[in-house]
């Protein structure tokens, strides 16, 4: 069975890996050229279930070896003394299986895991889809035409497959009122393994060291009462919005913005959820952010992408002779997990970006206090709050009896 996957970042390669293990023939199409694939990106978190998916793929050791090595975060505010937070203890308090890794590093590891077992079409995209009930005819931007048994959109918040098969994005997006910008720059702040941030009402900015490249990564988060209007493909317009928002901020922001125009990995987007109630139409389906983005930076979207891609592949394998039924079973299997992660997005954003003076005063000290608690106490607190339940309390089905191919280093 031939399966076309649009998107080769996280959910796409995980899905391709497992589909190959179950005897399918996956093809991934990625708009980004091969030479740009796996570069840049912000730090993302893999929580317990996602780490377990990586372990079953035989890639957890590589991910652990590439994890960020940030050990301290210093939070500054105008007119107040700095607050120092021990990140190693804070991360240990989340889970023994928690891993923070740069998105580009994760993408590269997942690509390396699948480059020999899946077909990759870089520098191309889907132009049209026609599902006739027995298969899907696909026309690509390059002009080539092919037919597949299934098409899966794993192409992110602004999914092309979702637009073609489910309709315009505007009808299914839920903005949370926040915005995120990230880009790489020279090590002008000399941060090493430290993270330095500055908080004010409705704004957070800062940078952290990237040991793999010797660079630093600038990060900006801010909240707006009215939604900004911009083209998500227009980087220059987005940079202008960022400068308008932070140009007179002060602190170290002029040093950060000085390198904005030369950054080749600039990312800017709204913190928006996708709220589709169904993620499949006939032989076309969505996974990860394309189907149910819980909000960049606030909803555990990377972990959700890995876990749901694993489950999608397993359910398709279990219903091999009836793919539409496999897609419906996938929806049933992941719905509760999706709803939990969707629910924590607004709360998490309020916990990251201070919405008022009281939050600005309390947030840094609360984080520092938690990091000083014994690790078992931290884990107990984490396991009982909404975020912990959403991101770690996900039972992974066992599909090992469906495996047909050894597929490299994979562990059943």
**Which residue in the block uniquely carries the two structure tokens 């394309």?**
290
Q: What is the Cβ-side half-sphere exposure of residue 236, based on CA atoms within 13 angstroms?
A: 0
Query: Which run of H or E residues covers position 173?
Result: strand 173-185
Contact 242, 224 (CB under 8 A): no
CA distance 209 to 279: 38
Q: Which residues pair with 99 in a beta bridge?
A: 46
Provide φ and ψ at 300, rounded to 5°.
Answer: 70, 35
What pLDDT is attached to residue 297? Answer: 85
**One pLDDT digit (tens) per residue for the chain, 412 residues:** 999 999 999 999 999 999 999 999 999 999 999 867 776 778 899 988 999 999 999 999 999 999 998 999 999 999 999 999 998 888 887 777 889 999 999 999 999 999 999 999 999 999 999 999 999 999 999 999 999 999 999 999 999 999 999 999 998 999 999 999 999 999 999 999 999 999 999 999 999 999 888 999 999 999 998 999 999 999 999 999 999 999 999 999 999 999 999 998 999 999 999 999 899 999 999 999 999 999 988 888 999 999 999 999 999 999 998 999 999 999 999 999 999 888 888 888 888 899 999 999 999 998 889 888 898 888 888 777 777 777 776 789 999 999 997 654 444 4
Residue closest to 303 by CA, chosen among 182, 183, 409, 392:
392
CA distance 223 to 270: 9
Q: Which residues contact 215 (CB under 8 A, 6 or more apart)?
A: 184, 185, 186, 187, 209
For residue 263, what are its two tokens?
Answer: 């950054």
Residue closest to 220 by CA, chosen among 191, 169, 260, 278:
260
Do the bridges between strand 194-200 and strand 136-140 make them parallel or antiparallel, or are there none, so unpaired?
A: unpaired
Neighbours of 223 (CB within 10 A): 19
CA distance 324 to 171: 24
Contact 329, 279 (CB under 8 A): no
CATH number of 2-402: 3.50.50.60
CA distance 233 to 34: 19
Q: How far is CA 19 from CA 36, 48, 124, 208, 312, in A?
A: 25, 22, 22, 37, 9
What pLDDT is attached to residue 322? Answer: 94
Q: How far is CA 29 from CA 23, 37, 108, 228, in A?
A: 19, 12, 15, 30
Residue closest to 21 by CA, chosen among 59, 63, 62, 57:
57
What pLDDT is attached to residue 53? Answer: 97
For residue 319, what are its two tokens?
Answer: 């219903």
What pLDDT is attached to residue 400? Answer: 94
- DSSP secondary structure string, 136-164? EEEEETTS-EEEESEEEE---TT-HHHHH
For residue 183, what are its two tokens?
Answer: 């880009």
Q: How far is CA 265 from CA 181, 208, 212, 349, in A?
A: 10, 15, 15, 24
Neighbours of 323 (CB within 10 A): 21
* Strands lying side by side in the sheet with 267-274: 80-86, 72-77, 194-200, 203-210, 215-223, 173-185, 267-274
For residue 376, what are its two tokens?
Answer: 């078992």
- DSSP secondary structure string, 44-94? EEE-HHHHHHHHHHT-HHHHHHTS----EEEEEETTEEEEEEEHHHHHHTT
What pLDDT is attached to residue 407? Answer: 57
What pLDDT is attached to residue 278? Answer: 94
């Amino acid at each position: 069975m031939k399966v076309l996957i649009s998107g080769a970042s996280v959910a796409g390669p995980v899905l391709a890996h497992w589909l190959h293990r179950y005897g399918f023939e996956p093809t991934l199409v990625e708009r980004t050229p091969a030479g740009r694939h796996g570069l840049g990106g912000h730090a993302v978190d893999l929580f317990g279930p996602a780490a377990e998916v990586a372990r079953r793929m035989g890639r957890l050791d590589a991910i652990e070896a590439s994890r960020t090595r940030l050990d301290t975060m210093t939070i500054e505010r105008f007119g107040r003394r700095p607050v120092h937070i021990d990140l190693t203890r804070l991360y240990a308090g989340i889970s023994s299986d928690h891993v923070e890794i740069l998105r580009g590093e994760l993408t590269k590891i997942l690509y390396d895991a699948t480059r020999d077992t899946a077909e990759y079409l870089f520098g191309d995209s889907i132009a049209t889809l026609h599902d006739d009930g027995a298969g899907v005819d696909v026309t690509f931007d390059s002009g080539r035409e092919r037919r597949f048994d299934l098409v899966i959109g794993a192409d992110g918040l602004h999914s092309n497959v979702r637009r073609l098969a489910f309709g315009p994005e505007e009808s299914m997006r839920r903005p949370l009122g926040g915005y995120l910008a990230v880009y790489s720059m020279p090590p002008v702040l000399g941060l090493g393994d430290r993270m330095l941030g500055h908080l004010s009402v409705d704004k957070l900015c800062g940078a952290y060291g990237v040991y793999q490249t010797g660079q630093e990564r600038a990060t900006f988060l801010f909240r707006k009462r009215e939604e900004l209007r911009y083209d998500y493909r227009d980087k220059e317009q987005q940079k202008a919005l960022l400068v308008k928002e932070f140009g007179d901020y002060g602190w170290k922001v002029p040093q950060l913005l000085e390198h904005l125009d030369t950054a080749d990995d600039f990312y800017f987007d709204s913190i928006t959820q996708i709220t589709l109630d169904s993620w499949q139409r006939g032989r076309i389906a969505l996974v990860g952010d394309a189907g149910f983005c819980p909000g960049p930076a606030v909803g555990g979207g990377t972990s959700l992408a890995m876990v749901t891609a694993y489950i999608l592949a397993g359910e398709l394998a279990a219903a091999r002779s009836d793919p539409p039924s496999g897609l419906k079973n996938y929806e049933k299997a992941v719905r509760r997990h999706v709803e939990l992660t969707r629910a924590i997005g607004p709360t998490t954003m309020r916990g990251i970006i201070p919405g008022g003076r009281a939050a600005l005063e309390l947030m840094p000290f609360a984080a520092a206090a938690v990091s000083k608690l014994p690790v078992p106490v931290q884990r107990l607190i984490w396991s009982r709050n909404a975020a912990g339940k959403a991101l770690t309390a996900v039972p992974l089905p066992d599909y090992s009896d469906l495996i047909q191919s050894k597929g490299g280093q994979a562990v059943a």
